[in-house]
Structure 1
Amino acid sequence: MTEKPGRVRGWAAARNVLKLSVRWISLRLRLMLVFALVALAAAVSASAIAYWLNRDAVLTRTQNAALDDFRKSLQDNTASLPLLPTCPELQEAADRMAATSQKYEVLLVGKVKGGGDCAAPSDRDLFPLKVVPQTLVTAVNRERRVDESNPYPYHLYWQRITLGGKPYLVGGAKVIGGGPTGYLLKSLENERADLNSLAWSLGIATGLALIGSALLAQAAASTVLRPVQRLGEAARRLGEGQLDTRLQVSGTDELADLSRTFNRTAEALQKRVEELSAREASSRRFVADMSHELRTPLTAITAVTEVLEDEADSLDPMIAPAVQLVVSETRRLNDLVENLMEVTRFDAGTARLVLDDVDVADQVTACIDARAWLDAVELDAERGIMARLDPRRLDVILANLIGNALKHGGSPVRVSVRTEDDSLRIDVRDHGPGIPEDVLPHVFDRFYKASASRPRSEGSGLGLSIALENAHIHGGEITAANSPDGGAAFTLTLPRDASSLTEDGENGEDGGSTTDGGGQ
């Protein structure tokens, strides 16, 4: 009982392995295997049926001929014998019976003159009495009741045996009226040789049928899979963005219908993508044009707000809060416009890297110092860690990550710089409450803010998104998580040399600074 669960698990494991193996077999090979198995089953079945039918026919014909001849010969040769013959007379009769065209040996057994029994074989070495199976002797000597359905008390019986590895037919009958009992021994070696030849012929035919089925399967698989391969290639090109991909269709079968469906789907997809691309391009142009148009009035407004801010101390106390609100909102609007222009460049694919060799520790220090964060940030970075990056974009990334940590986590913020093989890793960690689990998946989404109750909070919600885009353009990544010791932890990973990601290794556009602490 304890072995049954293990056996069940063994069968389940074997079944899973079989399923996995079938999955990895190509469709062409599966078709060929199916064709081959069907052909093999059909050929083996037909060959087996033909072999057994021919075997039965050959053996039945041989044994019937031998038994009929033996019965007639037994009657003819024992009719002239006395009721109690001598042993030589039995021997002479056995020799006469064996000298027939059927080529079988004869053994006559009976009571002889002077008392006793005599066994007279035509071949003493091949056919002594001990060769005859005891079951056959018993059946031959058994007297049956004579009635309307059975007119004779004794019958002729036969059995197939093997002597010395060769097949033989043994038959026996008792002469009715007190005569001797006769047995025959007929060799079936020729019949076995004929059946072996037949078996070889059927085996060769089965092999040829298997080869033919394999060739037929190959042809059928090519006929079926060629359209499937074309369809797969077309689907691959369609997935790569070649929306004008179409299939040539001929015929009215299922594969032709599938190809027509693919063409209709591709055409509908192309139209839909063209519509969406046109809308997206229109939206990008609108945002870019709007941002560009806003910069001119914003420049004038910014100049006015700077003058108002300088004169804030001399303004009426009732007006000063309004002036301060105008100044802060103007700055916020100016940052939003800059961020929108940067996002537009990323969406349009026009953002480029301007690479330079920088000391990462110096770059981080310069970013912190430029924003007066030295007292609120702890830096753990060794001097001399060089990397070939875009300094402006690295500054944007650091400013957004550190600014976001200061805004939402509070000081002190710890920034550590490490190298891992050919990569640069910068960790920014705060000691605040951390990021809610439902917010973590969305911290890099555009315009996403953790608190819906603060839609007009400082920041546009684009800062972390822009930081992530700048990391991606370097071939890097930014991840956000909660530290086990508390607080949020952002990890920036960049290659130490981003030269392979630029078209000419050096040149590219250089936009303005885009720093926004929103997003968490």
Structure 2
Amino acid sequence: MSAGRAIRRLPYAWTLWRRSIQARVVISTLLLSAVVATIVGMVLLNQVSDGLVDGKTRASVAEATRGTVDAQRRLSGASGTEFDASAQLTQLVASIVQRGQVQGYDVVLTGPVAGSSEGVAAGSGTRNSQGVRSDSVPAQLRERVETPDFTGVAWSYTRIRYEPGAGRVDAPAVVTGSQLLLPADGGTYTLYYLFPMTDQQRTLSLVQRSLVTGGGLLLLLVGGLTWLVTRQVVTPVRLARRVAERLASGRLEERMHVRGDDDIARLGQSFNQMASSLQKQIRQLEELSRVQRRFVSDVSHELRTPLTTVRMAGDVLYDARDRFDPVTARSAELLQKELDRFEMLLADLLEISRYDAGAAVLDLEDVDLVDVAHRVADSTRALAEMRGTEVVVRAAGPAAVAEVDVRRVERIVRNLVTNAIDHAEHRPVEITVASNEQGSALAVRDHGVGLHPGEAVLVFNRFWRADPARARTTGGTGLGLSISLEDAHLHGGWLHAWGEPGRGSQFRLTLPRRAGDPIEESPLPLVPADAAPERRDRPGGSVAPGTPDRPIGTR
């Protein structure tokens, strides 16, 4: 495999390692087993090597000692008339070399040692086994053996070197050195035996190959066993994951197939019991939700008929209030006001029931949000004057066009503006409109009571109120922001909230250019420019958490 392909496979290998328990267990076991097998193999190989070398050394020293003693005995028993030192050396070397050929070693004879024989140059003679180079004997061993007062046998390790034409290969060896006294000239000569360790080297190579082969087979066996064992554990886990994914997708009837009575089987039984319990509870919740939606829808529809009758009677009383006494006239006005609120509540409940039933549809057209903002500002001007505030529209560009259902978008903006007026505390309410390539945004800013930490999410809940003791002076039903959030979702847009106690709040509506298209960034910031520096300097405030996939939050 080339290096490029190996690099390209790295992400796949990392994914396999990260996602597969079986792969991690098998690979970890193989790596640890390889480390253990390597350590054990090295220890065994070292012990075998030391045993072979020590045995060869002891045998070599013993053989060299016997050979030296035998050679010295033959020299000492030579005839007194044999004074030819060269002939004695030749005869000695020939007998030793012949014996070495039988015993499997080589010989190097040098000398005489300096100062041991007068009239003969030291080191003038060197006789070897055929093809052996004299430099096979280490210099340190030569210096030790050639010492005048040396006795016994010295040994060392070396590598036998042969002449190029000898037809033999250099090999490691044990070399021993001893001294011989030649009667012919009275000189002391050094005799070196070189015992090649070729057999030991072959044995060590065989042991090494056996350990490598055995270790490889052992790793394969351990890997296979680990794979089988982990498969027995991982397979039920994978089956449980698949069943859990099917349960999450809505297939509540899925169950694990359980066999046996072991721990995995009991785990599967517990999983199936949990799935059955969840299925039962989900069915109950679905039925309860269906009954609640049906109840809201039925009650909303059924109340319209009596409400129409009460409305007609209330209108009659309200139109004739000038002829009543002050207490009765005030009662007629209060009745008319509460009837208006009751009608709004029924309309909102019907709208909520349509959302719950999935029956809400869009009537799309291209709309400029700047025009929508001006229309809402005009329609809420009377309410703003009554509350002692004003509504100001600011457009960041000439147009902010989006494909929307204009009725629903106007309802969102109207709910946001009336909510801001209700909490403005006599300060202006600002509507800002902007757009970019992805969509358009509209932000409603007030400088009133603001929101406490955590309330930016709760503000979109049905019937939620920041202060339960606070009166609804504008006649709200508590469903406006919840319906606005559903309308924003229906368009594929976002509705976010921000607020700080005493610094007001801001609600931002972001809509795509085309309904349902994804939005990555809003044209307007959620935190207002006049509040951003202070917000960075001190903690507090409330920002609805969320992402583009969860359109309650900030970007």
For the aligned pair, the TM-score class normalised by the smaller chain equals: 0.7 to 0.9
The within-5 A match list for 1:82-161 is 82=76, 86=85, 88-90=87-89, 92-99=91-98, 100=100, 101-107=102-108, 114=118, 121-123=127-129, 126=132, 128=134, 131-132=137-138, 134=140, 138=144, 156-161=153-158
1:302-333, Cα deviation, whole Å (9 max, x unpaired): 22222222222222012223222222222222
Aligned to 1:169: 174
Match of 2:26 in 1: 32
Q: Give 2:479's aligned residue.
A: 462
1:444 alignment partner in structure 2: 460
The answer (yes or no) to whether the contact 2:29–2:226 under 8 Å persists in 1 is: yes
| 1:397 corresponds to | 412
Provide, for residues 67-97 of structure 1, a one-character-per-residue CA deviation record: whole Å limited to 9, x for no partner: 3332222222211223999465345324422
Structure 1, unpaired ranges of 5+? 1-19, 144-152, 502-520
1:202-217 to 2 correspondences below 5 Å: 202-217=211-226
- 1:336 deviates by 2.1
- The answer to whether residue 469 in structure 2 is matched with residue 453 in structure 1 is yes
Which residue pairs with 2:442 in the alignment? 426
For 1:442 and 1:424, locate their aligned partners in 2 and report how far apart those are by CA, in whole Å: 25
Counterparts in 2 of 1:499 and 1:78: CA distance versus 1, 3 Å: closer
Q: What is the rounded CA distance, in whole Å, between the counterparts of 1:133 and 1:48 in structure 2?
A: 32
Amino acid at match of 1:285: R
- With 296-305 and 342-351 compared, the bigger mean Cα shift is at 342-351
The 5 Å alignment of 1:305-316 reads 305-316=314-325
Percent same amino acid at aligned positions? 30
Q: Given that residues 465 and 478 in structure 2 are in contact (C-alpha distance below 8 angstroms), is that contact kept between their aligned partners in structure 1?
A: yes
Tell me the secondary structure at the aligned position of residue 436 of structure 1: coil
Q: Is the 8 A contact 2:314 2:336 kept in 1?
A: yes
Cα offsets for 1:184-239 (capped at 9, x unmatched) = 22222453355335434533444444455555555555444332222111111222
Match of 1:254 among 250, 256, 263: 263
SS, match of residue 244 in structure 1? coil
Q: Aligned-pair distance for 1:105?
A: 2.5
CA distance in 1, matches of 2:452, 2:56: 94
- 1:298-377 alignment to 2 at 5 Å? 298-372=307-381, 376-377=390-391
- Alignment partner, residue 73 of structure 1: 67
Give a deviation string over 1:470-492, Cα, whole Å, max 9, x none. Answer: 11121111111148995321110
Q: Determine the C-alpha separation between the residues in 1 that align with 2:445 and 2:223.
A: 66
Task: Please name the residue that 2:46 is paired with.
Answer: 52
Per-residue deviation, residues 116-174 of structure 1 (Å, max 9, x unmatched): 7667543498464893453686499799xxxxxxxxx9654432234668422112356
Distance in 2 separating the partners of 1:230 and 1:368: 59
Query: Which secondary structure state, in structure 2, belongs to the residue aligned with residue 353 of structure 1?
Result: coil
Give the Å deviation of 1:408. Answer: 0.8
* Matches of 1:482 and 1:402, distance apart in 2: 15
Cα distance change of structure 1 residues 172 and 415 upon mapping to structure 2, 3 Å threshold = same
Q: Residue 342 and residue 30 in structure 1: after superposition, are their counterparts in 2 closer, same or farther (change >3 A)?
A: same
Contact 1:91 1:120 in 2 (8 A): no
Residues 329 and 60 of structure 1: CA distance in aligned 2, closer, same or farther (over 3 Å): same
Once residues 158 and 255 of structure 1 are traced to their aligned partners in structure 2, the CA distance between those partners, rounded to angstroms, is 67
Amino acid at match of 1:231: A
Name which of 295, 302, 306 aligns with 1:293.
302
* TM-fit CA distance, 1:468: 0.9
C-alpha displacement of 1:401: 0.4
CA shift in 2, pair 1:449/1:58, >3 Å: same
Is the CA contact (8 Å cut-off) linking 1:447 and 1:460 kept in structure 2? Answer: yes
Deviations 1:378-415 (A, max 9, x none): 22346664432222211221110011111111453222
Helix, strand or coil at the partner of 1:444: coil
Question: Structure 2 stretches of 5 or more lacking a match?
Answer: 1-13, 162-169, 519-555
| Equivalent in 381, 393, 417 of residue 379 of structure 1 | 393
| Alpha-carbon separation, structure 2, partners of 1:204 and 1:23 | 28
Which range moves more in the overlay, 389-398 or 333-342?
333-342
Q: Tell me: CA distance 1:263–1:115, structure 2 relative to 1, closer, same or farther (3 Å).
A: farther
Report if the CA contact (8 A) 2:491-2:516 is conserved. no
In 1: Cα distance, 2:476 partner to 2:145 partner: 111
The residue identity in structure 2 corresponding to 1:37 is: L
Q: CA deviation at 1:425?
A: 0.7
Per the alignment, do residues 136 and 284 of structure 1 end up closer, same or farther by CA in structure 2, a change over 3 Å counting? farther
For the Cα contact (< 8 Å) 1:140–1:172, is it kept in 2?
A: no
Give the letter for the 1:254 counterpart: D
Q: What's 2:431 paired with?
A: 415
Partner of 2:103: helix, strand, or coil? coil
| Mapped contact 1:367–1:399 kept (Cα < 8 A) | yes
Q: Partner of 1:80: helix, strand, or coil?
A: helix
Q: Normalising to structure 1: TM-score of the pair?
A: 0.78
Coordinate RMSD, CA, aligned: 3.8
Q: Give distance in 2, aligned partners of 1:384 and 1:366.
A: 15
Q: Give me the whole-angstrom Cα distance separating, in 2, the residues matched to 1:448 and 1:314.
A: 40
What TM-score do the two structures reach when normalised by structure 2? 0.73
- In structure 2, what is the Cα distance between the partners aligned to 1:215 and 1:472? 54
Could you tell me which residue of structure 1 aligns to residue 523 of structure 2?
none
Query: What is the letter of the counterpart of residue 327 of structure 1?
Result: Q
Give the Cα separation in 1 of the matches to 2:323 and 2:148: 145
| Deviates further, 207-216 or 409-418 | 207-216
Counterpart amino acid of residue 462 in structure 2: R
Contact 2:459 2:481 in 1 (8 A): yes
Query: What is the CA–CA distance in structure 2 between the aligned matches of 1:388 and 1:358, rounded to whole Å?
Result: 6
Letter in 1 for 2:18: W
Q: Is the 8 A contact 1:471 1:477 kept in 2?
A: yes
Contact 1:388/1:499 (<8 A) preserved: no
Distance in 1 between the 2:148 and 2:324 partners? 143
Secondary structure at 1:160's aligned position in 2? strand
d(CA) in 1 for partners of 2:229 and 2:142? 58
Larger displacement relative to structure 2 (302-311 or 153-162)? 153-162
Give the superposition deviation at 1:246.
0.6
Instruction: Assess, with a 3 A threshold, how the Cα gap between structure 1 residues 417 and 483 changes in structure 2: closer, same or farther.
Output: farther
Q: In 2, Cα distance between the equivalents of 1:320 and 1:142? A: 146
CA distance in 2, matches of 1:446, 1:207: 69
